Structure 1
Amino acid sequence: MYFVELGVAERVMFLGKVVKGVRFLKAFYYFVFPSSLEGFGLALVEAIAAKIPVIYSNIKVIQSLIINHSYQSPVGNVGLLTHKMVKADSVGYKKNEEIALEQYSFAKNNFDLMSNMEKYRNLFSRLMLGGIE
């Protein structure tokens, strides 16, 4: 197994399915999301909701969810991704908290379920009343 080959087996635990696993996110200093392909990125959204900074790859679907791109890394660039993790460690808790709260506010204001339901309801009403110009 790869984690054994890397010599990190004693520091890694595979828990399987965890009920309400999002509650563990608060224990993280930051969340690393190095995907090269995503349909939506629910785990990233959960990290944002937990108000922890995210370090992520620059795929389009993720960029639309993020306002502060200081922890963005090109897909497959492990060196820069590692640099972003070191940077997140070095800037201190207060700065990371500011980034996480800024991100949370952006997500809440732009992707809140209730406000999006209202937008879809308005769009549907306009379509039913004669379309959109």
Structure 2
Amino acid sequence: MSKIVIDTKNAPGAIGPYSQGIIVGNLVYTSGQLPIDIATGELVQEVKSATKASLDNIKAILEEAGTSMDNIFKTTVFVKDLNDFNAVNEVYATYFKSNPPARSCVQVAKLPKDAVIEIEAIAVL
């Protein structure tokens, strides 16, 4: 089984030696998406807006791969401060109105660019 690299201008480019996403078989794996506003290139730091930016970047990668947010079955959310859990959930819920994916949410010591959140996803094509 071969892998296909996903590359879209509609999401931030990688800041290291990794791909935005990979397709293997009928699965799409996104790299963790920082809350970078694709229009400005700026890192979003307010947690609700940051959650939206990270999820919008995932959406763009999945669309480039030929799938959608509806086909996500697992996400991992990394937060700088677990006290932001409810604020993250408020925005996250607007992207997954029914049949939400399985999810882990963990507080981490530090994220790249000192971001407040990073989200990764696995979806089916």
TM-score (norm 1): 0.27
- Considering fraction of residues, name the structure with more strand: 2
Looking at CA atoms only, which structure, 1 or 2, has the larger radius of gyration? 1
Which is bigger in relative contact order (C-alpha 8 A, separation at least 6)? Answer: 2
